[in-house]
Chains A and B, each alone.
Chain A
């Protein structure tokens, strides 16, 4: 349905933001994970036709959307990481304008906007100008505009930033629902955003695709390599030097340390079930083809 083939993006100054990435997507939710500056947003902008790649192809149902972007844009819902709104317009006016820009008929636009405002819980705020909205409310307006034209492809870049925990859960569920018969591409550096909803996870770093797998397959990569122990606080620095620490939690008895290691780090360490964050850290730090290694 949507294919990114050999995508490379080189910015002025020879900064290679995306380096030969190939991703083929069918209906379902693809979570794009990577640290800040990994090239996720560049890749998302290329997939959404906002930026032209330096080389490579973007195909939608086989059509080249780099040459003819409107083929995809007509059926695309895109929520960029950073966006603005017209501050003196209300959400209904703003969405009305965007619906017209998408070519929706007047009747369809009205019905759709009413439903979307209800969906994103903004019905009580429709008369307020957008300049008076909070960050989370504006992000919900952004989500609503992405869904205006019943898109077949939804590309959302760091969509849950600024949302409160309840809204995050709600939005994740919404995307999961949409992904049943649409391509949904979600980028984030927060693993929990994709943990429960992604059918596929791609990890990128320094512009390169490190791996693409199902969540279960990613977990299998670090199965048996995650360990936990409560240690004295003064031991943490030494452990951080030797192992990849995935979590630290202060407790009354000391610091609960969770780390990755192919072998037991010591006699009292307890092997625990890995989660996606452990797997992600292992891929980022040790590469896709290797298991966790002692530093």
Chain B
């Protein structure tokens, strides 16, 4: 009975998730990443190498390469796909139906965990097939060894996706981590796992790289290859010259290594089931803290959560026909104001205090520190608010009403305008300082950035109809910026000789215009094919 419950829940949840567009998007991204990870022999980039060498694309090397890169991707992108299992039950009301059944919370959590594991494992499975295709396509070694090809996916990728599934469930049941903040926290956790997990001392073997590197080094030494050219590296790198190749026949998996991977799966299971201690089974009366329950669009005959004091209707109502006909005109400013109010609805006072602190720091610190630190902080602070752009109408079901309202494009532009106002607000102090300090190039880039970032958020929101795409993408973008990658700096934070080193303000503005155009076209296309 218990097993049947869990299997039924797992199956239903798995079916629902893989039929969602996000599944296909992340899967396609994973396949594309796999393709990128195993380029042609004369390519000028590489994802995994050791010294001046990479392995011949045989089954063992291709399988390991794709397994490691996909594991890294699925722990990030996959997390955002599977982290809504419980919240979907909450928002659709299915949770309350399940809560009224005798199914114990532990079984519910086990079903959700297994479903998430299945979703991510199915992606791993597709990537294993991709690895096979890539090995044959590259043609460096056409003999396929199934065990060597698949073993890395089983021992490296699967424990990591189990860990990701467990953490996603944990995040969903902790009120503070349930919403957008959890997405950001996970990004930080992922960075720690991706970097710290390559260490020889990483818990449970980390992401499994260390043993792979040691085995490859051993093979190279055995083949008489000089190892002074550098160590093992996992991550996209551009090359001046194509790499030389060596033959690697795969990892000899030790019992200790295998035990570490099994321990990681057990840890994932424990993490997933631990919320049984505090999970409230969708009972709003047992909710802790001020975090509101996600709001459900209203269906006929349905009501909302919360307690509503009755307002007794009076039978005698004023005659509607006596109301004066309304005048039109001059509404655009109020529309932008309305969009701004919707954008920041429910934002806490603490968030606004943070904005104030950023402004004070922007006005008080030296200009160099303002451009290098305060502006990037000011333009990461609203990431959760920006990510609402383009999503809220669908999220709250207001599009049911607005679908019959005129001037839909004007509303989208007003929404974009609200995003720009918010961006300018959080970047206002640095902008003032740049203008006061005569840094016109920096100020121009800052203004262009204030146009670009909300454009990106709106485009991603309208395209994906979810907050998570922008949150994940922008965090990567911002991380690259603060690490000094000038090519992606739209803020003017990366400097060379005191001047912004990134794309010029005209280029950034042009990017914003393109994104807004994409948004408007997408909105129009959605309307035209609406069912």
Interface of A with B (CB < 8 Å)? 11-12, 45, 48-52, 69-70, 73-74, 76, 78-89, 93, 96-109, 111-112, 115-116, 118-119, 121-122, 124-125, 131-139, 142, 145, 147-150, 155, 158, 161-162, 164, 166-167, 169-170, 173-174, 177-178, 180-181
Chain A residues closer than 8 Å to B331, beta-carbon distance: 99-106, 109
Query: What string of 1s and 0s marks CB contacts (under 8 Å) between B333-346 and chain A?
Result: 01101110110011
B398 adjacent to A86 (CB under 8 Å): yes
Cα of A180 to Cα of B288 in the assembled complex, Å: 52
Chain A residues closer than 8 Å to B400, beta-carbon distance: 80, 82-84
| CB of A283 to closest CB in B, whole Å | 23
Chain A residues closer than 8 Å to B335, beta-carbon distance: 97, 100-101
| CB of B401 to closest CB in A, whole Å | 5
Known: A69-B406, A98-B405, A178-B321. 11 other contacts (CB 8 A): A49-B403, A52-B529, A89-B342, A100-B334, A102-B328, A108-B328, A109-B334, A133-B304, A133-B308, A135-B298, A173-B317
B295 adjacent to A87 (CB under 8 Å): yes
Q: Does B392 sit within 8 A of A, measured CB to CB?
A: yes
B317 adjacent to A93 (CB under 8 Å): no
B398 adjacent to A136 (CB under 8 Å): no
| CB of B51 to closest CB in A, whole Å | 54
Instruction: List the A residue with the shortest CB-CB distance to B326.
Output: A108
Taking CB atoms and an 8 Å cut-off, the chain B residues in 360-390 that contact chain A are none
B398 adjacent to A170 (CB under 8 Å): no
Contact of B405 among A101, A107, A135 (CB under 8 A): A101
| CB of B349 to closest CB in A, whole Å | 14
Query: A119-B318, A145-B401, A177-B321 in contact; A124/B311 too (CB < 8 A)?
Result: yes
Instruction: List the A residue with the shortest CB-CB distance to B529.
Output: A52
List 5 A–B pairs whose Cβ atoms lie within 8 Å, in order of A's numbering.
Answer: A93-B341, A96-B338, A109-B334, A155-B404, A177-B320
Query: A112-B323, A136-B303 in contact; A101/B298 too (CB < 8 A)?
Result: no
Chain B residues closer than 8 Å to A86, beta-carbon distance: 342, 345, 392, 396, 398
Q: Does B315 sit within 8 A of A, measured CB to CB?
A: yes
Q: Does B407 sit within 8 A of A, measured CB to CB?
A: yes
Number of B interface residues at 8 Å Cβ cutoff, please give it.
62
Interface of B with A (CB < 8 Å)? 292, 295-304, 306-315, 317-321, 323-332, 334-335, 337-339, 341-342, 345-346, 392, 396-398, 400-407, 411, 528-531
Instruction: List the A residue with the shortest CB-CB distance to B307.
Output: A132
Going nearest first, the 4 A-B pairs with the smallest beta carbon separation are A84-B397, A135-B303, A84-B297, A97-B338
A87 adjacent to B411 (CB under 8 Å): no
Chain B residues closer than 8 Å to A173, beta-carbon distance: 317
Chain A residues closer than 8 Å to B300, beta-carbon distance: 81-82, 158, 161-162
Query: A85-B398, A89-B345 in contact; A121/B298 too (CB < 8 A)?
Result: no
A82 adjacent to B297 (CB under 8 Å): yes
A101 adjacent to B407 (CB under 8 Å): yes
B292 adjacent to A162 (CB under 8 Å): no
Chain B residues closer than 8 Å to A180, beta-carbon distance: 321
Cα of A45 to Cα of B307 in the assembled complex, Å: 32
Contact of A48 among B317, B341, B404 (CB under 8 A): B404
Cα of A26 to Cα of B320 in the assembled complex, Å: 19
A162 adjacent to B302 (CB under 8 Å): yes
Instruction: List the B residue with the shortest CB-CB distance to A139.
Output: B298
Chain A residues closer than 8 Å to B296, beta-carbon distance: 84
Contact of A106 among B306, B320, B334, B339 (CB under 8 A): B334
Cα of A155 to Cα of B400 in the assembled complex, Å: 13
Instruction: List the B residue with the shortest CB-CB distance to A87.
Output: B295
Cα of A105 to Cα of B333 in the assembled complex, Å: 10
Chain A residues closer than 8 Å to B328, beta-carbon distance: 102-105, 108, 149
Chain A residues closer than 8 Å to B324, beta-carbon distance: 111
| CB of A161 to closest CB in B, whole Å | 3
Chain B residues closer than 8 Å to A97, beta-carbon distance: 334-335, 338-339, 341-342
Chain B residues closer than 8 Å to A93, beta-carbon distance: 338, 341
A51 adjacent to B530 (CB under 8 Å): yes
Query: A96-B338, A111-B324, A121-B313 in contact; A131/B398 too (CB < 8 A)?
Result: no
Chain B residues closer than 8 Å to A69, beta-carbon distance: 406
| CB of B406 to closest CB in A, whole Å | 4
Cα of A170 to Cα of B313 in the assembled complex, Å: 9
Cα of A138 to Cα of B396 in the assembled complex, Å: 13
A119 adjacent to B320 (CB under 8 Å): yes
| CB of B91 to closest CB in A, whole Å | 11
